[in-house]
Amino acid sequence: SRPDECEQTVAAGPTSPLEASEQHFCAVLETIALAGLVVDTQGCILLCNDYLLNLTGWQRQEVLGRNWVELFVPADYQQALKELFVEAMAQGDCPAHHTNEILTRSGDRRLIAWNNTFFTGPDGRIQYITSIGQDLTDQHQSDQRLQESERRLQTVAANLPGVVLRYVLSAARTETIPYISQGCTQIWELEPVQIQQQPNLLWQTVHPGDRGAMWHLIQHSGETLTPWFCEWRTVTPSGQNKWLQ
Please report the beta strands in the chain, taking only residues with DSSP state E, as ranges in sequence order.
Answer: 35-40, 45-48, 97-103, 109-120, 126-135, 165-169, 175-180, 232-235, 241-244
Q: Report yes or no: 101 and 112 within 8 Å, Cβ to Cβ.
A: yes
Output the pLDDT for position 11.
42
Q: Decide: helix, strand or coil at residue 236.
A: coil
Q: Which amino acid is residue 146, in one-letter code? A: L
Q: Which amino acid is residue 1, in one-letter code? A: S
Asked if pLDDT for residue 27 goes beyond 80, the answer is no
The pairing of beta strand 126-135 with beta strand 109-120? antiparallel
Give 124's pLDDT tier (boundaries 50, 70, 90). Answer: confident
Output the pLDDT for position 146.
83
Give 8's pLDDT tier (boundaries 50, 70, 90). Answer: very low
Asked if pLDDT for residue 232 goes beyond 60, the answer is yes
Asked if pLDDT for residue 9 goes beyond 80, the answer is no
Output the pLDDT for position 226.
92
- The pTM of the full predicted model, rounded to 2 decimals, is 0.57
DSSP string, 150-192: HHHHHHHHHTSSS--EEEEE-TT--EEEEEE-TTHHHHTS--H
In tens, the pLDDT along 86-105 reads: 888 888 777 889 899 999 99
Q: How far is CA 44 from CA 55, 65, 69, 97, 225, in A?
A: 19, 5, 9, 20, 57
Q: How far is CA 16 from CA 6, 20, 222, in A?
A: 15, 6, 64
C-alpha to C-alpha distance for 22 and 3, rounded to whole angstroms:
8
Average pLDDT, whole number, for the chain? 86
Q: Report yes or no: 206 and 214 within 8 Å, Cβ to Cβ.
A: yes
Output the pLDDT for position 4.
46
Angle at 204 between CA 203 and CA 209, to 5 degrees: 80
